[in-house]
Structure formats: structure tokens, C-alpha cells
Structure 1
């Protein structure tokens, strides 16, 4: 850890979520270095906010590491992380910089865990998913495990009416071709899209829901050790049927032509504005069961996903600046604690059943 200047870098500061994180970091009295690949946009945000800027791409680990040599913590916001996380993680290990990002991609969480030994050796923290993916669900999973220590099955889910930012939409397009994912007997397995459906009360009435390949399929295992994990979001039965039909066209969804077209469309999407974000609450739900049939459920309300992402990313960066932490690969609940989400503005009390 750098003892001289404890500098934070926000890489991808010119994106929708990157800008929100920059604004919140400034509110918290931090002076982040804004960075990214787009020279004009990065320079523009730096001038607007009166912050130092660095412009570099992620093609060479050596070059990235040189740009991180004086940085204590990086908040990596430039997706798709399936392409950008590896060079940034490797550069962070090289430059002894703590790595955080706002991904929700299973492949990136697994990648982070694969660097555990190298990160320990370098005294560096690798903690992907310090935003809405996956702080709320990760904290809930960990608390449910505390309540039922011999749990063998974990189901998580959330209900969020939010529109997507261009970056999130593009990542979702990539995911379509890869199908669904769940964890079974400790292993992540590929399943069809909308593999399972279930009626769930997320805290706002019962809704039909389907499985999605959310980040907790990876992270909740490292946080809890529970070997069987599924994640759900609400969808109408009609909507679930439509998505199931896509399974027949999965090969087509993965072709370059279709991917490029869908990503172009995704680039036109706009994340919610401030008023929309304030109105849009998110409902988070989870359930654990053991082999004897005992169960515990929990649910709570939290802020809109984008609000929670900038709150969480800055809170984790502050934690890393304030504490000497031994290196390694972490999930948010393991790095900070499983009450982290409850300290973020907009989060209500977690209700457990049985009490």
C-alpha cells in the first residue's frame, strides 16, 4: 500500500456510472484522478470538475501499471469487463494498487479469484463487484448463512424497475449468447436462459420470476461456501416464454453481426436521471435451506442500482484507504463486512423469517 499520497483513480470516469462515482467521491472530500481511453471526454470531465486526468488504453499491462504506480485504489468502470478486467487486474498486482470494479459478470468474479495467490503475495486487494452487482445480494447471502450455518441451497433475487446505462446494456447483450448459469454442487454450470421460474415475494407482493446468470452465482459461493446457488428477477410468464424461445437461437445471438447490431442498439439506451433514480427503489430477496428442510428468508429495500453503485464503490475505496488490509481476492462482504449495504443511504432494515 502506498503510504505517501493515497490517491484514487476512477478509470472509465467519462461513462454514465463513472461520472456518478466521480461526483460522489468529490462530495466525500476525495480528489480522484479521472482516467479512461477517450481523450476528449476524459479531459472534459477533468476540466469540469477541476481534477487531474490520465488518458491511456488497456492494451499493454506494462503501460497500465506505469499509470498506476502512485495510485492506492483504482475503481475500474470501463466495461465490458470480460475484456478490460484482466489487463487492469494484472497491472494492479504489478503496481501494488488495490483493484475494485463495478462488474456483474461471473467470468470476471472467477478471474478475480484466480489471482488470489498473486494478490496475496503483492499485498494487493482484488475486489470486483463493489456496486449494485453485488453488494446488496452478497451482504444478504452472508447474513442468511450466519442464520443457517449448514445451508446447502441459496436463492437470491431482486426487483428493480431501472432502465440500463449503455455500458450495462452492452454487457447484457454479450451475456445473451452465453445462456444462463447456476451453481450446482459447488460448480458453475451452463443452463438455458430462463432455466427455472418461481413465484417470489421480493418485498412488494408476489411475482413470477426467472433465473438469470447474475454475479452471485460466483461471489456468493466465496462469501458463504453454499454449493447450490440460483439468482432470480421478476418477469411475466409471457416474458419468460419469449426468453425461453431465444435458447433455440443462441448460436445466432453469438454471431459478430448480431452482437454488433444489438450493441449498437444498446449504445442508444440511457441510464435513469437523478429524479428517476431517487424514485426507483430496489427490492432484494434471499432464501437459504439445509438438507433437513429448515429455511430462512430475508428481504429489504435499497436504493436504485446506479445510486447504490456510486455509494458502494466510494465506500469500499474509503475502506481500503483507511485500513491496512492483507492482499487477496475478496467479495464485498468479506472485504468490509456483511452489514455494508445497511450503512449505504437508501437501504432499509433486513426482515428475516422465521424471526
Structure 2
């Protein structure tokens, strides 16, 4: 298999992916900004390493010159994805990441023609954000080809890594997002609620600005899209109060304070927590006549799925070299890809 680079290998998710890659016989180039952490991990795993900041374009291009693909795991991706994408376009290197951030998907879509001319794939969201929901979206489109509305969602209780928590803090300042008649629009946090059976009994759910608001449109062409996650009345009330202070939350000091608190206090999930908390993923498509089709799949914990899905996609692309340009995980791998991942059930469709 051609060589590939894992950037952010010293982060929570990046390190999990690096260890599994080596267990599978791969030797990715482990990269990131922290010289001490990257070189220590690379020495332990027997992998090559590179230390550079994404803002150092010369160093970035130099590191990419000897690889065929990048798996970008250093978030928040709103601050890091553009530089890595530009580096990949300049060096003809396939781009993958594990983002769930809508602006990053839209950025990747906007450089489709550049990626096509460069001969590379531009495929963000190859982890839990958004592989299982994207696969369900495609399955629902196949089951109801004339669907006009799509709702997706999940119930996952394993806790957050520090990087994911920081991204959530950033996203809260922009409210929730939905797609209406093909256009992404902002709505107040917790303005969408409904009761959903994700596959583990009916639960209260709330709308969130998940990546599928972007990607599911490109996967299915369905113009109206919402994404939900399981929640509680208390959490929803807190989200609604957040709407009153969004201006304050955007200030640099408050963002710094929130992220500092995350670094000091948050303990990411350990393996026992990951192993004991599967994820329940749901989707529902509706056409203009009111006909609905629902789909459900149970998957491994979000972090375990991210490890398996990202490595599976990297391996497939480097072995098959598909047509270049922007693509979503569902279109790249097919609706059944999620069912091939360890810990996943089959997709269940209910008309």
C-alpha cells in the first residue's frame, strides 16, 4: 500500500487510529506540531515521523511530497482544514479528515474542480462524523427515490474527547443548522425537538448542526435536511439559554476560557467506556405525498467506528484509485459500508 500521513497523531483520536493502523500492519507517517509527543509515539510504534505547523506551507508541502494520502485528525478543523487542503491540492495528495463541521464540508465541496484537476479525492468526514448517517441517508434515498425531506440522528453516550468538546464550544456560537430547499440556514439552538426511537427505545431528541446538513445533500440530493441527537429536558433548556448569550460566547476571552476549562477538567472516554457504549443511528425520509421510510443501524462506539471507518476508507482508496474530486463517504463506499465495520448491525428499513 502506498505511504500515507496521519496528522494530529498525538491527539486522542489520532493516537487511537495510529495504534490500530500499526496493528493492521500499516506504517503511516505520524505528524503533528508537538515534537516530543509525535517522536515518542513514532518511536514506540516503529513509524516514521514529521513535526511541522500547518501554517508553515513549505514544511507542509515537504512532508506531503512522499505520501499518497493524508488523514487529518487535528481539530478544530475550522482552524486547520484549509491549510491541509491547500497542501494536498499543491502536492496531488488525497485528503481525508474526521471532521463533523459543516463549513469544512462546504469548503471541500467548493474545491471540487481543483481536486479533480489535481487528481485527488477530497473526502472529509470519514469517522463517526459522518459515515453511519451518510450511509443511512444513501440507503433511504435508494428506498424512497422521490424523498423531499430527510431527518437523521443518533444516540451515542460515550463522552467526548477534548478536541471534540472544543469544536462543540465553537459551533454553539452559530446556533443550529438545517437545510431548507437546498440552502443551509441557521436556526436557534434547541428550536427543533422531537421524540425518536433510535433503535433503543423512544427518546427526546434535539436538532444539532451536524455535518450531514451539508453532506447528505450531496449524497442524496434531498433538499430539506435536519439532524438530531438524543438529549434531556435539562440539556435542551441549557441550549435554549445559550441563545441569549451567543454574542458573549463568540468573544475570544470566553472561547479561551471554555477551552481552557476543557483542557483542565475533561477526561476523554477510556477503552472500557468506549467498549460498553454502542451508538444507535436513525434516519427518516419523506416524500411530497407524505410517505415515510425509516432506517436504523447499531454501530460500535463513535471512536471505535472512527478508527475502523477511516482506516477502511484510506485502504480502499489507495488500493483502487477512484475518480478524483469531492465525494462523501457514502457515495465513495456505498450504503452498506457501515454494516461492514466491527460492531455494526445490518441496516433495518421500516416503511
1:234 shift after superposition:
1.2
For structure 1, the 5+ residue unaligned runs are none
1:161 and 2:157 aligned: yes
**Aligned equivalent of 2:13:** 17
What is the root-mean-square deviation of aligned Cα atoms in Å?
Answer: 1.0
Residues in 2 aligned to 1:305 and 1:234: alpha-carbon distance in whole angstroms: 14
Aligned residues: 350
Q: Residue 335 of structure 2: SS of its match in structure 1?
A: coil
Counterpart Cα distance in 2 of 1:43 and 1:63: 17
Deviation at 1:61, TM superposition (A): 3.0
- Asked if 1:148 is matched to 2:144, the reply is yes
- Tell me the secondary structure at the aligned position of residue 100 of structure 2: coil
Question: How many Å separate the matches in 1 of 2:33 and 2:319?
Answer: 29
Distance across 1 between alignment mates of 2:341 and 2:195 = 29
SS at match of 1:188: strand
CA distance in structure 2 between the aligned counterparts of 1:127 and 1:257, rounded to whole angstroms: 33
Task: Give deviations 1:139-180, integer Å, cap 9, x for gaps.
Answer: 000000000000000000000111110100111111111111
Where does 1:274-293 land on structure 2 (aligned, <5 Å)? 274-293=271-290
User: Post-superposition shift, 1:310?
Assistant: 0.7
Question: What pairs up with 1:18-37 in 2 under 5 angstroms?
Answer: 18-37=14-33
Structure 2: where are the runs of 5+ without partners? none
The alpha-carbon deviation at position 116 of structure 1 amounts to: 0.2
- Give the alignment partner of residue 193 of structure 1, picking from 189, 192, 200: 189
Distance 1:214 1:52 in 2: 34
Q: Secondary structure at the match of 1:152?
A: strand
TM-score, normalised to structure 1's length?
0.97
Distance 2:342 2:227 in 1: 24
1:176 pairs with 2:172: yes
Whether contact under 8 Å (1:60, 1:87) holds in the other structure is: no
Following superposition, the deviation at residue 239 of structure 1 comes to 2.2
Runs of 4+ in 1 over 6 A off after TM superposition: none
TM-score, length basis structure 2:
0.98
Cross-structure match for 1:110: 106
Q: Structure 1 residues 322-331 or 152-161, which shifts more?
A: 322-331
- In 2, are the aligned partners of 1:62 and 1:91 still within 8 Å (CA)? no
User: What is the deviation of 1:63?
Assistant: 2.9
The structure 1 residue matched to 2:291, chosen from 294, 297, 319, is: 294
- Distance apart, 1:238 and its partner CA: 3.1
Q: Distance in 2 between matches of 1:239 and 1:11?
A: 34
